[in-house]
Amino acid sequence: MLSESSIRIIQSTVPVLQIHGTSITKRFYERLFERHPDLLNLFNQANQEQGSQQAALANAVYEAAKHIDRLDTILPVVRSVAHKHRSLGVLPEHYPLVGQNLIAAIKDVLGEAATDEILQAWTEAYGVIADTFIGVESEMYGAAKERHGGWQGYRAFAVARKVRESDVIASFYLAPRDGGDLPRFEPGQYLSLKAEIPGEAHTHIRQYSLSDAPGKAYYRISVKREDSAPGRPAGLVSNYLHEQIEEGSVVWISAPAGDFALDRADARPVVLLSGGVGITPLASMLNVLSESDPHRQVTFIHAARNGDSHALKEAVEELVRNHSNIAAFWCYSNPTDRDRASNAFHAEGYIDLSWLQSIVPDRNASYYYCGPLPFMRTVSRLLRKWEIPAADMHYEFFGPAARLSDAE
């Protein structure tokens, strides 16, 4: 437990963190990688280059400081991050290294304003927070290993099938090389794939949502090839998978993880909203609902640029034909002439509230959404405007967590 004096000191630094948080986390990662370059094998360097990881950590530190006297209120965030840590292979011995460099970064950025009293309070607070993470992650490591078919660390899988789903997305059907069983996962979860790419100095790990229902002899991931764009380099791992990994290739993955999961105990209608490759975890949810809950009303809404980039469309439409409780709607921002000629979509442009209200039959539902950050922010804004309770809004970030509204 933190002392009352340390709690007061930490809370007094909240305004400073709001201003200097990103500078502190940027300096933290510089120090960490300078002193422990082996940790580059754990971190997504693309997120580092784009600044999204620094921003996510700054927000996490800020929230921890703001709620330092009620850390239980941020336990859901702790569990979400702990899932990712377990998936990546973060271990207890990593936490002292992080702590030392975080405290040093605070001192580097704040200079004389970082008094010995402040640094001591933050050292004490970090110890409490680190112990919380280590405890939660220890339970997760044990659960992943002990469940039927489970394992710890990374396991070799062979690519049994590779299927092109759109002009930018391919599905990989992964079967364990050892022929063993696979643990069931919750629809919405992801796995970590460790890539050792020729010519690259470090291992690269990426998380990919499982895009099929559990209970199969394989895991399926559907990966978008990330091309370069202004301010964003081409996706190193996604291009490696698309261009160099074929049927028969071997990849290494960790056991499924993540807390973005379908609540199967909730009997109310479900609304699944996806944008781009964000369709992957929601496709898993839809497959499970079609197999195990055929009476639950499901509205599936997907936004894509056009039919050429729309992955898994035929599979979803087949479920619609075979299940009267499932309805699906497509919104294309830039439909092709072929899309228009075949009436392949239901709305043109971007999802708005009036269209959403016209196709969702029952507002009293659970809403799950995933996609690019602008899409996520739009959906969050629309649902809040519709006065959907926050408890009914469930979402997953592809990459470091970010703010969905100024109110967060």
Q: Which of the residues are catalytic? A: 95, 137
54 is in an annotated binding site: no
280 is in an annotated binding site: yes
50 is in an annotated binding site: no
281 is in an annotated binding site: yes
133 is in an annotated binding site: no
258 is in an annotated binding site: no
349 is in an annotated binding site: no
279 is in an annotated binding site: yes
111 is in an annotated binding site: no
400 is in an annotated binding site: yes
Please state, as a whole number, how many other Cβ atoms lie within 10 Å of the Cβ of residue 358: 10
Q: Are 55 and 402 a contacting pair, CB within 8 Å?
A: yes
207 is in an annotated binding site: yes
399 is in an annotated binding site: yes
209 is in an annotated binding site: yes
Q: What residue numbers does the annotated binding site for NADP(+) cover? A: 276-281
Q: What residue numbers does the annotated binding site cover? A: 85, 190, 206-209, 276-281, 397-400
Q: What residue numbers does the annotated binding site for heme b cover? A: 85
Q: What residue numbers does the annotated binding site for FAD cover? A: 190, 206-209, 397-400
